[in-house]
Structure 1
Amino acid sequence: MSAGPSPDDSRSHGKWRRLGREPIAGLIAAVVAIPDGLAAAAMVGVNPVLGLYTGAISPAVGGALVSTQCLLISATSASAIAAAEALSAYPAGLRPQALAALVLLIGGFLVVLGLLRAGRLVRFVSHAVMTGFLLGVAAALVLDQLLQLLGYHPPPGNLVMQTVALFAHLDAIVPKAAAIGGLALAILLLLRPTRLDNWAPLIALLVPTVLIAWLGWSDVATVGRQGESGLPLPQIPHLGIVTAQLAGTALAIALVIAVQAAGVSQGAFNLDGSKPNVSRDMIAQGAANLVGSLFGAIPAGGSVGQTALNISLGARTRWAAIFSGLWMLIFVVLIPHLVAKVPMPVLAALMVVAGIGALNWREALSVWRVGGGARWAIVVTFAATLLTSIPNAVAVGVAMTVATFLLSSASDISLFALTRQSDGGVREDAPPARLPSHAITIVEVRGSLFFAGARTLGEKLPDPSQAIAPVAILRLRGYSPAGATFIEVLDRYADEIAQAGGVLYLSGVGPALADQLTRAGKLDLGGSVHIIGATPLLGASTQAAAAEALAWLTAHPAKT
C-alpha cells in the first residue's frame, strides 16, 4: 500500500500551483499595459513605441530586485508629465537622446538614494503635500491630453492658459481626431462599471484603430508616423546633452517615484511574510531605469494601477512582473506593425481617463476637513503643480513639508498641572501663570522639545520671578535625548527659580536624557536642579520628586 503525500509534498505542490498562475497574470498585465505604455510615451513627446520598451524592461529588471514582490514597475503619469516638461526645451530631433540621459540620471539618483537608505526619509513627506501634488499631476494630465485628443496645438504657456485658449479657438479643433478620440473616451467610460473594465483600454485601442482603417482616414496621426518600431540595440546615453535643469528634473522625478512606490508597497504584501524594504525598492526602480535608458525607454516607477491589477490577477511573487516584461518583449518583436496603426488621439483618450481616475477628490476632501496647515499644504502644492513645472512643485512641496513640521513642532507643546486627589486619582488642570511661593507645582510636559518647540515650552512655563522659594517639578517621562535648545531653556528656567530662592526637579527622566543633561554641564545638578530617574512604575518618580520637594520646603521654612 502506498503512503499518502507528505506535508512537504503538499507544500511543494501548493507552491508550484501558485507559481503556475504567475505566467498567466504576467500575460494579462502585459496586454493591458500596451495601451498605457503607448499613451505614456506619447505624452512624453517621443515615439509611443518607447513606452512598450519600458513595459518590457522595467517589470522584468525591477521585479527581479524588489523587496515588495508584487510591485510592478512601469511608466507612471507623474514621471511622464515631468519628462515631457523637461524634453520640451529640446528640438524634436534631440529628444530621444535627452530622454535616454534623463532616464539614466533618474536611475542613478534612485540607486544612490537606496544605497543611502533614504527610504526611511519617506515617512517625513506630508500626506497633505503628497495629496496636493498627485491631485495637481492628475489635473495637469487631463488638461494636457484633452488638448491632444482634440488635435489642438496650443500656444506656449501653462496648461491652464492653454485650456482657456482652446475655448477661444474652437475652430482649431481637428474634427476627425476629436471623433476618434471621443469614441475611445466613450468606450473607456462605458465599460468602466462592467466586468470588462480591465480590458477596456485594449478594446478602446482596437475599435478606433479598425474603424479608421475601414474609413480610410489616413490624415489621422498614428503611432507609425512617430518613428521606427521594433526593439533597438542597447546604446549608452550621451551625457553631453545634460543641463542643470535636466539634472534637477531627474532628481525631482526620482523623489516622486520613490515616494509613490513607498505608498504602493504599504498596500501590498509578500507571500513569504517578509516586510517590504523601501530603500531596496528604490534600488530596484533605479536599476530598471538604468537598463531602460540603454534602450531609450521612458521613466518608470512603482505603479499603483498596475500593481493593483497584478495582485487582482492572482500574482503572489516577483515572477508575475518578470513574466509581464517577457511577454511585452515578445509583443514588441512580433507585432510592431499592428502597434504602428494605433491612432494618436486614442492614446490621448487613455491618458485623459487615467487622469480622471487619479483625481482622488475624496482623499482631498478628507485632508481639507483636517483644516489648519493641511489646507494650505494641499492648496499650495496643487497650484504649484498645475501652474509651474514638476521640479518647482516638488521644491514647493518640500518647503511646505518643512514649514508644516516646524510650525507644528512649535505649537505642539501642552502643559498640565497635576494634583493628586483624596481618592488617589490625579487631576489635570491648566498650569498657573505664576509659580506660587513656598509650594510645590507639578507640571507635565507633552509635545516636541526640539528647536521652536523648546522655545514655546520656555514661554509657557509658570513664571517664578515674583515667587519666594517656589518648587517646580517638570514631568519629562518618555522623552529621548533632546536638543541644545531644550537644555538652554531648562538652564534659564532653573536660574530664574534659583534667583527666587527655589528649586527645580525633573522627574521621569530616562537614562539617555539624563546622560545628555549631565554631559552638557550647564545645569546646577545637585544644587538648584535635581534629576529623578524614570522607573517602570508610572508616577513613581514624580511621587519621589514630590517627597524630596516636601522635605526641601520643610528644611527651608517661609520667613515671617
Structure 2
Amino acid sequence: MSARPVLRWLWSIRPERQHLRADVIAGVPGAISSVPNGMASAALIGVNPIHGLYASFAGPVAGGFATSSQLMVVTTTTAAALAAGSALEGVDAADRPQALLLLTIIAGLVMIAAGVARLGRYTRFVSHSVMTGFLTGISVNILLSQLPGLTGAYAAGELAVAKAVDLVFHPARIDVPSLLAGLAALGILIGLSRTRLAAVSALVALAVPTAGLVIAGAGSVTLVRDTGEIPRGIPLPQLPDLGQLSFPLVTGALAVAAIILVQGSGVAEAAPNRDGTPSNANRDFVAQGIGSVAAGFFRGQPVGGSLGQTALNRTVGGRTRWAAICSGLWMIVILVACSRVIGLVAMPTLAAVLVYAAAKSLRPGAFMAILRTGPTSQIAVVTTFCATLFLPVSAAVGIGVSLSLLLQLNQEAMDLKVVQLTPVVGGRWTEHAAPEKLPSYQATVLDVYGSLLYAGSRTLRVRLPDPAGAEAPTVVLRLRGRTAVGATFVKVMADYAAALNAVGGRLYLSGVDHAVAELLRRTERPDLTEPIGVFEATELLGESTGQALREAEAWAVRRRPL
C-alpha cells in the first residue's frame, strides 16, 4: 500500500504557523466551557461527572484530527447523554461505568461503519418535522428530569414526566439550600448570557453558588464527590468488559449513534470551512466515531459534533482544526490541576446548567409553524414528541426513523400526478388533466410527475385512464428521466398493457432510459398478443414521444372500421 495518501493527510492536518497562536488561545475558553457541560452531561447519564470530563479531552483530540468540518468540536452533547442514560437505565449503578465504556465504543464503531459505507446522504431522509419533534422532546425530557436535582428532592417514577409530577405533589421534599444554589446558578447563566462573560458563564454558575454553600456550611447539598471518587490526573486506556454486552445496550448504542450523526450533519452546515472547502458528511461520521471510540477507551461517554461548542470555537477566533484539538489538550491540564476542586461542585448547579441548555434549545416557534403546515407534518411532529417523552430514547429514535420513511413513501405516492400532453404547432406540447376514460381509435399521450417506486407505481395504476368500454385505444406514456424502475412498476405496466390488449389497444412507452428499456424487454409477459412498444430516449427532447405517437395513431387508424 502506498504511503502517499497517509503523507498527504498528515500534511493537510499540520498546524499552520500563522494560525497556531490563535488556535491555542481559542482552545482555552473551549476547555473551560467543557468543564460544566461535560460534568452535566455525565450527571444526566447517571454516572460520576468525571466521565464527562474524560470524554471532553479524548473526543476533541481524536475527532479533531479526522473531521472534514475543520471547526467542528467533537465533544459531549446533552441529546447523546440522554440517549446513553436511557440505554443504561436498567444497569446497576455499580456496573454502569463499565457498561457506559462498552456502549460508547459500540456507538463509535457504528458511526465509523456508517461513514465507511457512505451513509451520510441518508440523513436528509429524516424529515424536519420528525427531527423537530424529537429534539423538542429531548429538551423537555432533560428539563423535567433535572428538576429533582435542581431542588435536591427525591422524586419517584421511571419517566421524567412522572418524576416532575411527583415533585409537584410533594413540595415538602425540596431541600431549600439546594434550590437556592440551583436558582442562583440559573440567574447567573441568564444574567451573563448577553455579556462578554457568556463564554464562561456556565463555569461562573458552578463556582459562585458552590462557594456560597461552602461559606454557609450547607451540608445537605449533594456535591460531585458524593457521587464517586474523583481521580487525579488523566486516565489510562482501559479495555471494555464484554460481560456487560446485552441487546438493550446494543440498541441503545445504535440510538446514540443515530442521534449524534443527525446532529453532526447540522453542525457541519452551521460551521462551513473558512477556506471554502466543502465538508464531507461521511468523513465527519468517521471522525465522530473515532472520537467516541477514543472517549470509550479513556472511560468517557459518547461524543459527537456539538453545535454550542462549535459556535463558541468560531466566536473566540478558532481558525483551523487545531482550535478544537487544543481545547482537548487544555482539558488535560484542567484535569491534572483541578481534580480536587471538581469534587466540591454542587450537583444542583450542574442541574441548572442542563435546565438552561434545554430551555435554550426549545424552539416553540418552529414547533408551532410545523403544526400549521398540514396533517402529515402535524402527525410527524406530535408522534415523535410524545414517543420521546413516554418511551425509551432508542424506541423513540426507531419510531422517528420509521415515521420519516413512511411519510416519504406516502408523500411520493400521494404527490403522483398523471397529465395528458397534446402536440401543437412548432413541435411543442400543451398539458391538460388526464381523462378518466380512453377514447376509441385515438392515441392519448400521458406524462407522470412523482416517484414510480413502490407505492407510487400502484398509485399510477389507479390514476391511469380506464380502457374499459373503449375500442382500440392507444396510450403513449412518457418516462423521460426515469433511470430506474422496480418490479412493481413492471407489473403495473404489464397489467395495463393487458387491459389495453383486451379491447384491441396497445401501450407505448417513450423517452425510456436504455437500462430501463432492457429491463422491460427482459420481463415482457408471454400472454400479451402484442408486446409493449418501447421507444428509447434521444438527445432531442420529445423526439421519441413523437415517434411513439405516430405509431400509436397508425395502430388506431388500422383498426378503425371503414
TMscore range, shorter length: over 0.9
**Where does 1:140-179 land on structure 2 (aligned, <5 Å)?**
140-179=141-180
Give the conservation status (yes or no) of the 8 Å contact 1:502–1:528: no
**Equivalent-residue separation in structure 1 for 2:202 and 2:230 (angstroms):** 23
Question: Is 1:362 the equivalent of 2:362?
Answer: no
TM-score computed with the length of structure 2 as normaliser? 0.93
Superposed CA deviations along residues 179-205 of structure 1, whole A, max 9, x for unmatched, are 000000111112223343222212212
Residue 421 of structure 1: how far off its partner (Å): 4.3
1:296 aligns with 2:311: no
Are the aligned partners of 2:505 and 2:556 in contact in 1 as well (CA < 8 Å)?
Answer: no
Distance verdict in 2 for CA 1:290–1:528, change over 3 Å: closer
Give the AA of the match of 2:437: R
Write out per-residue CA displacement over residues 333-361 of structure 1, whole angstroms, 9 at most, x where no aligned residue. Answer: 01112222211100000000110111122
Measure the CA separation in 1 of the matches of 2:166 and 2:194.
34
Q: Give, as a single letter, the amino acid of the residue that structure 1 aligns with 2:155.
A: P
Contact 2:192–2:201 under 8 Å retained in 1:
yes
Matches within 5 A, 1:5-16: 16=17
User: After superposition, where does 1:474-485 map in structure 2 within 5 Å?
Assistant: 474-485=477-488
Superposed structure 1 runs of 4+ greater than 6 Å apart: 523-526
CA 1:477–1:394 in 2, change beyond 3 Å: closer, same or farther?
Answer: same
Counterpart of 2:513 in structure 1 is: 510
Distance 1:103 1:200 in 2: 29
Q: Partner residue of 1:267?
A: 270
* Structure 2 CA distance for aligned equivalents of residues 301 and 369 of structure 1: 32
Deviations 1:42-72 (A, max 9, x none): 1111111221111111100100111222111
2:239 matches 1:239: no
Structure 1 residues 103 and 69: CA distance shift in structure 2, 3 A: same
Residue of structure 2 equivalent to 1:63: 64
Structure 1 match to 2:98: 97
Shift of 1:98: 1.7
Contact kept, 8 Å, 1:113 with 1:279, in 2: the verdict is yes
Does structure 2 retain, via aligned residues, the 8 Å contact 1:107–1:288? yes
Aligned to 1:210: 211
User: What does residue 201 of structure 1 align with?
Assistant: 202
Counterpart-to-counterpart distance in 1, 2:383 and 2:90: 26
Find out whether 1:277 has 2:280 as its counterpart: yes
- The 8 Å contact of residues 71 and 273 in structure 2, kept in 1 or not, is answered as yes
CA distance in 2 between partners of 1:525 and 1:315 (Å): 69
Is 2:29 the counterpart of 1:37? Answer: no
Q: Secondary structure at the match of 1:92?
A: coil
- Shift in Å, 1:222: 1.5
What residue is the counterpart of 1:228 in the other structure? 230
1 CA distance for matches of 2:86 and 2:446?
55
Structure 2 matches for 1:108-507, cutoff 5 A? 108-226=109-227, 227-230=229-232, 231-421=234-424, 426-507=429-510
Post-superposition offset of 1:445: 0.9
CA contact (8 A) 1:25 1:313 kept: yes
**Aligned partner of residue 48 in structure 2, secondary structure:** coil
Distance 1:525 1:322, change over 3 A: farther
Q: Given that residues 525 and 531 in structure 1 are in contact (C-alpha distance below 8 angstroms), is that contact kept between their aligned partners in structure 2?
A: no
- Distance in 1, matches of 2:527 and 2:123, equals 41
Partner of residue 559, structure 1: 561
- Aligned AA (2:231): S
* Range with greater deviation from structure 2 (56-65 or 367-376): 367-376
Further displaced range: 132-141 or 315-324: 315-324
Counterpart of 1:77 in structure 2 is: 78
Question: Which amino acid letter does the alignment assign opposite residue 517 of structure 2?
Answer: A
Q: Distance in 2 between matches of 1:362 and 1:300?
A: 29
Contact 2:33 2:199 in 1 (8 A): yes
CA distance in 2, matches of 1:174, 1:28: 33
- Structure 1: which amino acid aligns with 2:150? L
5+ unaligned residues in a row in structure 1: which ranges? 1-13
- The normalised TM-score by structure 1 is 0.93
Give the deviation of 1:463 after TM superposition.
0.8
Of 542-551 and 489-498, more deviation after overlay is shown by: 542-551
1:538 aligns with one of 538, 541, 544: 541
- Taking the aligned partners of 1:523 and 1:361, their CA distance within structure 2 comes to 59
Q: Contact 1:517–1:523 (CA<8 Å) still a contact in 2?
A: no
The SS at the match of 1:396 is helix
- Higher mean displacement: 78-87 or 326-335: 78-87
Give, in angstroms, the shift of residue 91 of structure 1: 2.5
- Report the 3-state secondary structure (helix = DSSP H, G, I; strand = E; otherwise coil) of the residue aligned with 1:93: coil
RMSD value over aligned CA atoms? 2.0
Structure 2 SS opposite 1:22: helix
Cα deviation code 1:490-524 (max 9, x no counterpart)? 11111111221122221111222222212323389
Assess if the C-alpha contact under 8 Å between 1:22 and 1:317 holds in 2: yes
Partner of 1:6: none
Rate the CA distance shift 1:440–1:21 in 2: closer, same or farther, 3 A.
same
Measure the CA separation in 1 of the matches of 2:23 and 2:194.
26
In the aligned structure 2, how far is the partner of 1:528 from the partner of 1:282? 49
SS at match of 1:481: coil
Deviations 1:72-108 (A, max 9, x none): 1111111111222233322322221222122122222
Letter paired with 1:467:
A
Find the counterpart in structure 1 of residue 5 from structure 2: none
* Alpha carbons 2:419, 2:434 under 8 Å: kept: yes
Q: Distance in 1 between matches of 2:543 and 2:315?
A: 53
- Kindly tell me: are residues 516 and 267 of structure 1, through their superposed partners in 2, closer, same or farther at Cα, counting changes over 3 Å? farther
Q: Distance in 2 between matches of 1:38 and 1:351?
A: 10
SS in 2 for 1:335: helix
Q: Is contact 1:229–1:340 with CA below 8 Å preserved after alignment?
A: no
- More displaced, 370-379 or 87-96? 87-96
Query: Structure 2 CA distance, aligned partners of 1:525 and 1:26?
Result: 72
Q: Which residue pairs with 1:5 in the alignment?
A: none
> Contact 1:481/1:516 (CA < 8 Å) preserved in 2?
no
Deviations 1:244-293 (A, max 9, x none): 11121111111111111122112222344433222222222222222222
Deviations 1:295-319 (A, max 9, x none): 2112111111111211222223211
| Superposed displacement of residue 528, structure 1 | 4.5
TM-fit CA distance, 1:221: 1.5
In structure 2, do the counterparts of structure 1 residues 500 and 526 end up closer, same or farther at CA, with 3 Å as the change threshold?
closer
- Structure 2, unpaired ranges of 5+: 1-14
